[in-house]
Amino acid sequence: MRSYQKTIYALLLFAIGNNAKGQLTSGSSGLFLKSGTVLSSEGLVLTPTTDLSITSNTLTKSSTSLYGDAGQSINRVYTFSNQITYTGSVGIYYLDSELNGNTASELAISYKNPSVTVTETSSNVNTTTKLVTVNFSNTTIAQLTAVNKNVVLPVDLKDFTAVSINNRVKISWETLMEKDHDYFEIESSTDGGSFLSLGKIKGEGNSNEVKKYEVYDSTPSNGNNYYRLLQYDKDGKRKDYGVKIVKFGLSDNLIVRVFPNPVAKEVHIQLNNGKSEDLEVSLFNLNGQLIHQQLIKANGNDYSLLLNQKPAAGLYLLKLRSKSTNHSTKLLVQ
């Protein structure tokens, strides 16, 4: 058995060393480590004190900071595609170039699972060998990295999703922890380049509990809708959590005519959806501010919008919404 285990270990090390992406993969047959066996891969050292079996899993090393542009983690992050339950020693070797603003002598191993992020302040650091170590006992681990012992993360985001629900788009997210957090902002776009503010939500400030947030876009456009989540600390720092895309499907043969464009005072709207429905018309400037909103009663498929208080000349976003229609178009006011 011992010879067999050593053979597996040697083969794994060979596979890791020749993987440019820094990945270790265990197939359906799995990887078995006897208690006391040392597994070293890409600067991560695992020495289980109980027998460890890992099946259908991939361990990936990334140089992207786990906690984003606030820079609390070093630029060395290990991620298991499926979380493991582990008892034993964990060590992470680091390079000075990976410290990312952290102090080497203050480093501690931090791990993340689907419900919590924990920094192990009992970690030991050897600044000569550049190795951080700690012991785990029956701990569920999805990600591993190193952080300063005394740094508290501003926001630990769990989920961020956007889905289409009944002619609207629901944007929701959860946080596991917040520290000195001010607010979130959701922005929307129809082209993925120019974003308008959809709304702001005040944060909890300081919290160690799961908090849930949601925002609705009541007038999504036909086709792709892009939603960006931004988080702001009380000291003004901003974190971008990326973009979610929702394709809002209306009839492919829907034709919307808005004329004249450019417009001076009155806008005419024609829909070919074959339905006579009340139409809500909203006009936004490019900062996302609502300039004019009006509900136009059904009159066949022709609608007229009279701009009694003409907005300043410039480019605007015109959103049209009825029971069967969600459409946005750009409108130039002369």
Q: Where are the domains of the chain?
A: 2-148, 155-248, 256-333
Fold of domain 2-148: Chondroitinase Ac; Chain A, domain 3 (2.60.220)
What's the mean per-residue pLDDT of the chain? 81
Dihedral (CA of 282, 283, 288, 291) sign: negative
The CATH number of 155-248 is 2.60.40.10
- For residues 2 and 16, what is the distance between their CA atoms, to the nearest angstrom? 21
User: Which structure tokens are listed for 215?
Assistant: 């925002």
287 in Cβ contact with 197 (< 8 Å): yes
Same fold, 155-248 and 256-333: yes
Supply 285's token pair.
Answer: 């400037």
CA separation, residue 201 to residues 188, 238, 292 (Å)? 15, 14, 23
Distance separating alpha carbons of residues 161 and 66, to the nearest angstrom = 19
Identify which of 104, 172, 98, 99 has the alpha carbon closest to the alpha carbon of residue 132: 104
Distance CA(308)–CA(191), nearest Å, equals 30
Q: Which pair of structure tokens corresponds to residue 321?
A: 């919404």
- Neighbouring-strand partners of residue 284: 290, 317
* Domain boundaries 256-333, corresponding CATH code: 2.60.40.3080
pTM of the complete model beyond 0.75: no
Question: Angle at Cα 241 formed by Cα 81 and Cα 229, nearest 5°?
Answer: 135
Closest CA to 162 of 68, 66, 229, 211: 229
Give the pLDDT confidence of 166-198 residue by residue, as tens digits: 778 999 999 888 878 889 999 988 887 778 888
**Closest C-alpha among 87, 80, 136 to residue 113:** 80
pLDDT of residue 196: 85
Instruction: Give the separation between CA 67 and CA 92, rounded to whole angstroms.
Output: 17
Q: What is the mean pLDDT of residues 95-113?
A: 91
Mean pLDDT of 123-143: 93
Q: How confident is the model at residue 14 (pLDDT cuts 50, 70, 90)?
A: very low
Kindly report, residue by residue over 20-47, the tens digit of the pLDDT: 334 555 655 668 888 999 999 899 999 9
- Given a contact cutoff of 8 angstroms between Cβ atoms, the answer to whether 132 and 94 are in contact is yes
Give the span between the Cα atoms of 269 and 262, in whole angstroms: 13
pLDDT average, residue stretch 126-136: 96
Predicted confidence (pLDDT) per residue in 210-233, tens digit: 889 999 988 787 778 899 998 888
Q: Max alpha carbon distance in the chain (Å)?
A: 87
Q: Can you tell me the distance from the alpha carbon of 303 to that of 168, in angstroms, rounded to the nearest whole number?
A: 23
Whether 90 contacts 116, CB under 8 Å: no
The pair of three-digit structure tokens given for residue 141, joined into one six-digit string: 């681990």
Nearest by Cα to 217 from 163, 173, 254: 163
